[in-house]
Every structure is written in structure tokens, then in C-alpha cells.
Amino acid sequence: MNRVAIVSGAAQGLGLAFAQRLVDEGYSVLGMDVNSDVESIAGITGVVADVSKRADVERVVEQAAEMGTIHVVVNNAGTWQKTPVESSWEQTLIDLDFITETNIKGVMLLSRAAVPHLKKSGGHIINLSSYYVLPAKSDGTNPPDTDLYNASKWALNGFTDAWAKSLEKDNVCVNGMCMGAVDTPMLRGLFPNNELPASLASQVMSPEAIAQQMMDIINSGRTGENFGAWVGEDIQLGAVPPLHKRITG
């Protein structure tokens, strides 16, 4: 059986690391991104597509199904920006669409389009969230000027929890990945000249380490959990938590 994985936001950063790790594991990978660089990544089938557009998502899933049996969907595509609560109504509504179209609607569209295929394979959905939704271990969690981004990641808890419960009978596993600072273009873009401060650069997690955690989650067969990864700590799955702590810790 030719196992196929779909990775959204695969042109760079974590998405690229996920795609390459899945290729190493023998998957045929379809990477989708609004960035045309995705078409030139060696070893994967790169497709320019927008997860917030139903027609694009259906085209991607159809193409992936032609490559083999869809076994993994990684909802990695995401957007981030500051959204101060004092913003004007006009700007707030623009920001709301910008954040939620990808972070919420895109996750829903790609996952639901793939579910009929995943039911046949007993596959996996991985939702990329944030350590913001887990108990804080340091200052700076849930900063006040990113309310829409934060809300979008909390919304993923609803998807992960409900889908895991609904699809468990079909042997489909649904989990969230909730990491702290990872060395990605998105993180570097927050700093002048895309240079990480020395104090952060010495501790930040690597995309490859997070991609290994993704494979550990897939191989574990666990479902309905948010798996954390924190700067300065070993990246591991840990013991299965009680049911009421699997999503928010």
C-alpha cells in the first residue's frame, strides 16, 4: 500500500520539516502552500493551493488520493500577526478574516475533505496548535496583543477533541501539537533582519526535533491529545494523561 501524507504550509519552516520527515519514513507526500516555492522541494509533490478555498482543498485531496492511500493529514498552515484590542472596527474585521480563514476554516476544510479517505486507512490528523493552550510554564504565554491568533489556537481544541471522539470508531487518530519557540521563518520574522536574539537562538527548538515528535505521535496510536513541547525541556510524548486533561492539560 502506497501511504500518502498531505502537509499544508509545506514550503518552509515546520511544514517543510514535516514533509521531509514523512518522505524519510516512506510516505508519498503532497505538500500544499500558497508559496510557489513548494513546487521545487525535492522528494515531494508540491502544489500551490490555499487551505481556505474549498475548491483548492478538494483538488489537493483528489490529487493525493490518486497517489495512493491517504494516511496522514498535517494541518500546519497558519497565520500570525499582532491584533491589539484597541484596533479600529475596520482593522479588526480585516485581521479576523486573515487569521481565521487559515487557522480555523483551513483546518476544517482540509480535514473534512480528507476524512472519507482516512476512514478507509485508519489514518491520522495532526493539528498544529501552540503551547498557549497548555498550562503555562513561563512568562509571555498568551500575549495580550495577539487575541485573534490565540483564539484560533484555542478553537483547534474543539476540532481535535470532537474529531477524535467521532472518528475513534473508524481507527482515525486526531491529535494536536502545541510547541513553544521553534526556529522557523515565522519566528525569525518577529526580529530585525530575521536574526534571533542570542539568548533565544541558544535554546529555540529545531523543526527537525518537532518533526520527530510528529512521527512519535503517529506511531503511538494515541488520540484526542494535545502534545506539548517546551523550550529547554526534552521533547517527548509522556504518559497518557487522564481523559479530562488530554486537551488542555
Per the CB < 8 A criterion, the answer to whether 212 and 196 are in contact is no
Res. 189: pLDDT tops 70: no
The amino acid at residue 223 is T
Mean pLDDT of 147-172: 97
**Cell 475533505, residue located:** 113
12 or 182, which is more confident = 12
Distance, in Å, from the CA atom of 29 to the CA atom of 92, rounded to the nearest integer, reads 36
Contacts for 163 with CB less than 8 Å, ≥ 6 apart: 111, 125, 172, 174
Res. 188: pLDDT tops 90: no
Mean pLDDT of 160-185: 94
Measured over the CA atoms of residue 208, residue 213, residue 219 and residue 224, the dihedral's sign is negative
Q: Which three cell numbers stand for residue 143?
A: 500575549
Helix ranges restricted to H, the chain: 13-24, 54-67, 89-100, 107-121, 147-167, 185-188, 198-201, 207-220
Q: Which residues are catalytic?
A: 149, 153
Distance, in Å, from the CA atom of 32 to the CA atom of 27, rounded to the nearest integer, reads 15
Q: Which three cell numbers stand for residue 28?
A: 508519498
Q: pLDDT tens, 53-63?
A: 999 999 999 99
Alpha-carbon distance values, 220 to 19, 69, 136, 225, 227 (Å): 19, 20, 25, 12, 12
Contacts for 156 with CB less than 8 Å, ≥ 6 apart: 103, 104, 107, 127, 129, 133, 176
pLDDT band for position 201 (50/70/90)?
low
Per the CB < 8 A criterion, the answer to whether 163 and 212 are in contact is no
The amino acid at residue 131 is Y
Count CA atoms closer than 13 A to 30's CA, side-chain side.
26
What is the value of pTM for the model shown?
0.94
Mean pLDDT of 86-112: 97
From the list 209, 241, 213, 214, the residue with the least C-alpha distance to 225 is: 241
Q: Which three cell numbers stand for residue 195?
A: 536574526
Q: What is the pLDDT of residue 173?
A: 98
Mean pLDDT of 202-228: 94
- Strand pairing category for 173-179 and 45-48: unpaired
Q: What is the pLDDT of residue 138?
A: 79
From the list 2, 46, 1, the residue with the least C-alpha distance to 20 is: 46
What structural domains does the chain harbor? 3-245 (3.40.50.720)
